[in-house]
Amino acid sequence: MTTIPLGPIGPSPAVRAAAVRRGRLLNRLTIGWNAVEGIVAVAAGLAAGSVSLVGFGLDSGIEVSAAVILAWRLAQERRQGCTQAADRRATRAIAMSFLALAAYVGIESLRDLLSRSEPEASLPGIVLAALSLVVMPVLARAKRKVAPVLGSRAAVSEANQTSLCAWLSAVLLVGLAANAALGWWWADPAAGLGIAALAAIEGVRTWRAESLADTCCD
């Protein structure tokens, strides 16, 4: 286990500076990956009429927005030092993005189920979901290591959103594969409802989150 050098009230300035740099690098990787993932998923979803795939693409867009929010949070620290007010605002903004995604995908999934809208099979969607299932857990694990050093609930929330993306990838993959292999058209909107439920749970949990106990400031 790695020991973090501590100053009087937490990690030393050198350790915090290194964590901020690593956090910004992970942030850029998240933005780049999810920007491509979101465009591909939405395009493939619209082509196949897949609400779960479109919802997954929108989640990638929200993941980009969460990463941008966290980038702002880290920039605030570089300019002003760690501030709880900035961290709270960033965390609440991330929570709202979860809830917005849950509402949209939930409504669209119910509409497709009730209207018996049958999506086409999507090989690009299946490949994308499988790749995301590999990449997202690695990114999330790296982010969770950085967040405690930063003492940032916003960083934890953004890492949780990356973890959620991995779960969404699994749900999406099952739904798309069931539709393609077995012709279960309802598996796609059912996967969409699963995505909406996970997003809603994470949104509420993020909104209620308190600041980390080892935060760098009051």
Residues 6 or more apart whose CB falls under 8 angstroms from that of 152 comprise: 73, 82, 87, 212, 215
**Could you count the other beta carbons within 10 Å of the beta carbon of residue 201?**
13
Residues 6 or more apart whose CB falls under 8 angstroms from that of 81 comprise: 216, 217
Structural domain includes residue 72: yes
pLDDT digits (tens, 9 = 90+) for 54-106: 988 988 887 787 777 777 766 766 665 555 666 677 778 778 888 888 898 89
pTM flag (> 0.85)? no
Range of the domain at 82: 12-208
Structural domain includes residue 162: yes
Structural domain includes residue 215: no
Q: Tell me how far apart the alpha carbons of residues 105 and 40 are, in angstroms, rounded to a whole number.
A: 17
Structural domain includes residue 218: no
Q: Tell me how far apart the alpha carbons of residues 203 and 64 are, in angstroms, rounded to a whole number.
A: 16
Structural domain includes residue 214: no
pLDDT digits (tens, 9 = 90+) for 159-198: 877 888 888 899 999 999 999 999 999 999 998 898 889 8
Structural domain includes residue 2: no
Structural domain includes residue 44: yes
Q: How many domains does the chain have?
A: 1
Structural domain includes residue 213: no
The answer to whether the CB of 56 falls within 8 A of the CB of 93 is no
Cα 52 to Cα 89, 138, 180, 190, distances in angstroms: 29, 23, 14, 8
pLDDT digits (tens, 9 = 90+) for 136-163: 899 888 888 887 777 766 677 778 778 8
Q: Which of 137, 131, 56, 65 is nearest to 96 (CA)?
A: 65
CATH value at residue 143:
1.20.1510
pLDDT digits (tens, 9 = 90+) for 22-66: 888 888 888 899 899 999 999 999 999 998 999 889 888 877 877
Structure tokens at 110: 């119910």
Burial of 131 (0-12, 13-18, 19+ CB in 10 A): middle
Residue 6 has phi, psi (to 5 degrees) of -105, 145
Q: Tell me how far apart the alpha carbons of residues 71 and 53 are, in angstroms, rounded to a whole number.
A: 27
> Strand, helix or coil at 3?
coil
Tokens 């990638």 appear where? 60
